[in-house]
Structure 1
Amino acid sequence: MRPIALALAATVLSSAAFAQTAPTPAQAPVFVSVNEASALTSSLKGLNVRNAGDENVGEIEDVVIAGNSLASYILSVGGFLGMGTHYVAVSPNALAITWNATDKKWNARINATKDQLKAAPQFKYEGRFAK
């Protein structure tokens, strides 16, 4: 009987320790409306990015969230069928993302050439960002 009581006590104590280390939200849920000017990340992934010369210079590969804020977009530049692809992280302010109601399509623009993007510091999908 004593081993069962010890096992039960250990389970209760480990549960209490886990509950203390689990993150908890800062506040109760707040429900919001999503307006028509908003974009879903699922709509942006794979979106071609064009420059002022209307050249396709990359594609939105990912969206980076830090805390509760949009931190950056990961663009894939160059490569073919996943070979030689260069990933770069750009500030959200670097992209102009708009909705074209006529075409019913999202558009992304950046003020950079493909060569400038290829020369930018590379973002690597490794460590906690590994795919």
Structure 2
Amino acid sequence: MKKIATGIAFASILTTAAYAATTTMSAAPSESWTVTNYYKQSVYDPKQSKIGDVDDVLVNKQGQVTGLVVGVGGFLGAGEKDVIVPFTAVKSEKKNDKWWLTLDQTKDELKSAPGFKYDKASTAWVPESK
């Protein structure tokens, strides 16, 4: 019985190792960007006025980026409000050899949007209580 259990455990390890070997990539997916292309980057409106900065990148359980937390308003972080925008709403544009993140909303529109705060206990962004 002990030999059967050992054999099953060994087969399980081999299967897991074989699976792990097939889940790596030999090249980065084409047209892929890293999170650093978004995280802590400035966001601008269509007139190239700064709206705020990306404070967090939201990823669902399937690994898809679903939203960006953008800090708007305030001065040097004081009085800043965090809002969440859909990831698909943020566009990237290249101007003067620099990438810009743009959003078709103004700073005032985002300031009037619902605010969120990060809850460390649940490790999630929750609506700001007023």
* RMSD after superposition: 2.3
Distance 2:67 2:30 in 1: 22
Greater strand content: 2
- How big is each residue's C-alpha offset from its partner over 1:56-82, in whole Å with a ceiling of 9 and x where there is no partner? 111111111111111101101011122
Structure 2 unaligned regions, length at least 5? 1-18, 126-130
Larger Rg: 1
The partner residue of 1:111 within 104, 110, 116 is: 104
Structure 1 unaligned regions, length at least 5? 1-26
Structure 1 stretch 52-61 or stretch 84-93: which is displaced more?
A: 52-61
What is the letter of the counterpart of residue 97 of structure 1? Answer: S
Distance 2:86 2:68 in 1: 7
**4+ residue segments displaced more than 4 Å:** none
Q: Compute the displacement of 1:107 (Å).
A: 1.1
Percent identity among equivalent residues? 28
The partner residue of 2:76 within 78, 81, 86 is: 81
- How big is each residue's C-alpha offset from its partner over 1:3-22, in whole Å with a ceiling of 9 and x where there is no partner? xxxxxxxxxxxxxxxxxxxx
Q: TM-score, normalised by structure 2?
A: 0.68
